[in-house]
Structure 1
Amino acid sequence: MSENPTNASLSAWAHSVMPGGVSHELRFRKPHPIYIERALGAEKWDIEGRRYIDFKLGAASQLLGNSHPAVMEAVAQQLTKTPYSGDCHALEITWAEWLQKLFPSADLVRFTGSGTESTMLALRLGRAFSGKDKVLRIDGHFHGWHDMLLKGSKPGANTPPSLGVSAAITDLTVVAPPAIDAIRDYLEQDPQIGTIFVEASGANYGSVPLPDGFLQQIRDLATETGKVLIFDEVITGLRWSPGGRQARDGVTPDLTTLAKVVTGGLPGGAVVGRADIMALLDPGKPIDGLAPPVSHKGTFNAAPMVAAGAIAAMELLSTGEPQRQADAMADRLRNGINEKMGKHGVKGFAYGDSSTCHMFFGGTSIDGMSAAEIRTQPATLVSGLRNGLLERGVDLMSFTSCVTSSAHTPELIDEALEIFDETFADLAHQGILST
């Protein structure tokens, strides 16, 4: 690396060693990504020293803001002992106990290496407990990048958005709209469906909200039909409330998948759930000669340095105060964006639940629209908005959506809104935004 690297020079170097020059497809950007050197609170700085107001926040993992002192100190202290040894340790018990206290569904806890791994394990448990191979998932909901739940992650498509996924696997996945009557019909028509997967926020962390009462209705239907109900709370867990959306809304699934905020923003994940289902992971309780009945490994599950940071985060997040601050800042951001859109005569609006902010362009309501209709917006608009904001110092999470943290302040939100104002004006002038 040169003494004075730039985003462009790092991208050129990256292309020589990584496909597309990136380690995550959503980090790809033309002409090149930004390369972040440090991040603190609700701000971050790239390799060229440029500052950004951060609404990506580690893909929604940093609810406390980047580099929170309590989490950093806990990790630093643990590093003086060991980051990882491959053994049991006391920190994993304390961390599991926190999740047990906070999440209504958490009779027992098993840690994983990521959110994707947590959904893989939860599905394996659902199949083992139900004795049925098929899973029903909701159109457009996202459950990680693994083969078993990839079909249906692209709204409106009944195929996986990737090559290399076998039809033998996708045939076991049934994609349904978020409509209870339609789901009931699928369950009645196909007795091999034993598991139901739902992103608790609605598709893509709530950009496509679930119908009112849907979670309770799907809980009732799963109970009535004897299906294993799994809530994906990888984003909603600890963000919507200290106990996730299930605690906030009073709806308890059989299993819950967790990651991101629940790890203190560090790499890892977890599955929590009913004792009788989670018991299938117990090596001391064999079934049919299998010990454990459901196999699960993972080198870095509950690594001590992750557990240390997560526990420090739990102590803050369990109070609910960080969530209240993040929610208030998201509300300020949504209201401000709507005011700026009105100022420029933009046909669109900002919306969202909890500490999220989504933007829809080309209409005044998303009521009755499908996930495909809501998530499909002109590529020129999406890239124009993202690039225009980024060039002026605001980074969104993805597409036309973002999240806030407890580190955001009214002053930072108002600064960001002025940047939205400039960007909307520029896009309207170019004819990219409909007015």
Structure 2
Amino acid sequence: MTNLVGDVSSAARILPELNGEKLFIRNGKGAYLWDDRGRRYIDTALGFGAVLLGHANDAVNAQVAQALADSASPSWAHVREHGAATALARHTGALTKVMFTNSGSEAVHLACRAARAYTGRRKIAKMAAGFDGWFDDVSFGNVTSAEAGFQDGARPSTERTTLIRFNDFADIERLFTEDPDVAAVLLEPMLANAGCIMPLPGYLQHVQDVAHRHGALVICDEVLMGFRLFPGLAGLREGLDPDLASVGKAIGNGVPVSAVVGKPHVLAGFEEGRVTRGGTFSGNPLACAAVTSTLAQLDSQDYAGLIQRGDTLRDALENRFAAQGIHVVTSGYGNVFGIWPGAGAPTAGAPAAGAPSTYQQASSIADPAFSSALHLALREAGVLVMPSPYGRLYLSFEHDDDVIEEMIAAFDTAARRMSARFATR
């Protein structure tokens, strides 16, 4: 009997058994993890996107260790907090005000509070099938939920949350004719937790333009994609001008930290004491040390090289599976992407040979059996991937050419093992 509910503290950590054994990680370094039996794996979950410099980065660890030695929780304002906020704000454009929190879910929750306080409106519109945290308001309509696949005229809505369809230009227009009480649109630069569905050309700008035209704010949820493509916000790279953003994960290289960044006039209510915030551990010395050290290193990293290595991996794995009669496609970017089994008839007007561009298409080709079999085959070959059809593969700056070659060989092995069950030729 275990005292830990479901064996884990977060449901995302649940993995199938391999040869009757559960996986328990002992330690990690660089691109690798080791389990409790000493077996080594190439990691592609990387703290679900948090570990961008590689596991146990020496510089980050040294700064965090010093902060721990100085006092993990001094209660009052401390010497590391302003420096970390300044370092973060240098990367976030016009979003120059910073409030630290501890998790991405907290950051999104606080950003939504800011939007409601500023506009006086109640509802947040989020992308159906997007994941913006596990709090009740924004977990509504998450991937695989019944609400996520809603049809025209049947928009799911609660007192505080309503849904819009990603990549549907007309749906965001309809939203504001149906409901004038929307305080903000919560926008992901890529629908990452639905398998890395990419935005159509012009879609993100269209959502922002419609929201602003109707007096609603735009919140970029950058917890996953922030600092993944370059040292800054993915939304800014796409030319957006959001009012608020939630950031986290990669800004601390695995140390628990997140933040809300916003335009000064939007966050003025917090500075003036009109809007409540708190958090004993928000902006703690360990988190601030991690942010300062991580961002300093990200500024000098070769993002283009990392993304190119990932694109090489994507092309290779698609070719390795095709050689075994299994058609797969990938979607996303070089350093964060999803894998889709692509065989079958065209669905919703999209050819099966292409990656899905809507959640409706994604849900029609998602294959839990394929994703689970891929996870187990790769795990046996020494690579850890998420077992969900909507999972993602992340690469860190420690995933160098040699690691990519190891991964390609593992995918080749996995494709051969899976061919008898999934080959379509």
Task: State if a TM-score over 0.5 links the two structures.
Answer: yes
Q: Report the equivalent of 1:239.
A: 228
Match of residue 370 from structure 1: 358
Question: Match for 1:129: what amino acid?
Answer: Y
Q: What is the aligned counterpart of 2:264 among 261, 271, 275?
A: 275
Superposed, 1:181-330 pairs within 5 Å as 181-204=170-193, 207-282=196-271, 285=272, 292-319=273-300, 321-330=301-310
Kept in 1: contact 2:341–2:367 (CA 8 A): no
Are residue 412 (structure 1) and residue 398 (structure 2) matched? no
Deviations 1:354-384 (A, max 9, x none): 5112111034444665314314522221111
| Structure 1 partner of 2:422 | 432
Rounded to whole Å, the distance in 1 between the matches of 2:320 and 2:75 is 52
CA distance in 2, matches of 1:184, 1:270: 30
CA pair 365-293 structure 1, distance change in 2 beyond 3 A: farther
Shift, 1:247, TM fit: 2.9
Go from structure 1 to structure 2 and tell me whether the alpha carbon gap of 1:108 and 1:336 turns closer, same or farther (over 3 Å shift): same
After the TM superposition, which residues 98-117 of structure 1 pair with which residues of structure 2 at under 5 Å, given as runs? Answer: 98-117=87-106
User: In structure 2, which of residues 326, 340, 343 is the aligned counterpart of residue 360 of structure 1?
Assistant: 340
Query: Whole-Å Cα distance in 2 between the matches of residues 22 and 206 of structure 1?
Result: 23
Distance in 1 of aligned mates of 2:148 and 2:382: 37
Describe the shift of the 1:169–1:307 C-alpha distance in structure 2 as closer, same or farther (beyond 3 A).
farther
Map Cα deviations across residues 103-138 of structure 1 (whole Å, 9 max, x no partner).
114220000111000000011111111111111111
Write the distance in 1 (CA, Å) between the matches of 2:321 and 2:122: 48
Instruction: Tell me the equivalent position of 1:346.
Output: 326
| Pairing 1:23–2:9 present | yes
Residue aligning to 1:288? none
The equivalences for 1:52-71 within 5 A come to: 52-71=41-60
Deviates more, 1:28-37 or 1:56-65: 28-37
The answer to whether structure 1 residue 176 and structure 2 residue 178 are counterparts is no
The CA distance in 1 between the partners of 2:309 and 2:387, in whole Å, is 18
**Kept in 1: contact 2:225–2:233 (CA 8 A):** yes
Offset at residue 215 of structure 1 (A): 1.6
Change (3 A) 1:159 1:210: closer
Q: What number of residue pairs does the alignment pair up?
A: 404
Question: How far apart are 1:314 and its partner, in Å?
Answer: 0.8
Q: Distance in 1 between matches of 2:262 and 2:61?
A: 29
Kept after mapping to 2: 8 A contact 1:159/1:170: no
- 1:249–1:385 Cα change, 3 Å: same
Residues 241 and 247, structure 1, Cα contact 8 Å, conserved in 2:
no
- 1:37 is paired with a residue whose SS is strand
Paired residue secondary structure (1:415)? helix
From 84, 93, 103, the counterpart of 2:82: 93
Distance 1:206 1:224 in 2: 30
Equivalent position SS for 1:209:
coil
Would the aligned equivalents of 1:237 and 1:245 in 2 still touch at CA under 8 Å?
Answer: yes
Please give the root-mean-square deviation of Cα atoms over the aligned residues, in Å. 2.1
User: Equivalent residue for 2:348?
Assistant: none
Secondary structure at the counterpart of residue 53 of structure 2: coil
Match of 2:414 in 1: 423
Structure 1, unpaired ranges of 5+: 1-14, 161-167, 286-291
Q: 2 CA distance for matches of 1:313 and 1:202?
A: 25
CA distance in 1, matches of 2:73, 2:182: 39
Deviation string, structure 1 residues 362-409 (Cα, Å, up to 9, x no partner): 344446653143145222211111111112210114525211010011
* Deviation of 1:85 (Å): 1.5
Alpha-carbon contact 1:106-1:273 (below 8 Å) kept: yes
State yes or no: 1:335 paired with 2:324. Answer: no
Gaps of at least 5 residues in structure 2 are: 150-155, 344-351
> TM-score normalised to the size of structure 2?
0.90
1:254, CA displacement in angstroms? 0.5
How far apart, in 2, do the equivalents of 1:240 and 1:158 lie?
31
Percent of aligned pairs with the same amino acid: 27
Q: Give the Å deviation of 1:159.
A: 7.1
CA spacing shift, 1:205–1:407, aligned 2, 3 Å: farther
Paired residues of 1:44 and 1:53 also in contact (CA < 8 A): yes
- 1:398–1:132 CA distance, 2 compared to 1 (3 A): farther
The CA distance in 2 between the partners of 1:209 and 1:99, in whole Å, is 26
Q: 1:153, 1:220 → 2: CA distance?
A: 25
Q: Is the CA contact 1:41–1:67 (under 8 Å) kept in the aligned structure 2?
A: yes
Distance 1:159 1:147, change over 3 A: farther
CA distance in 1, matches of 2:284, 2:277: 16
User: Could you give the per-residue CA deviations for residues 240-273 of structure 1, whole angstroms, max 9, x where no partner exists?
Assistant: 2111212322212100001101123210110001
Residue type of the partner of 2:201? D
1:308 alignment partner, SS class = helix
2:322 & 2:76 partners in 1: Cα distance?
57
Q: What is the rounded CA distance, in whole Å, between the counterparts of 1:265 and 1:126 in structure 2?
A: 28
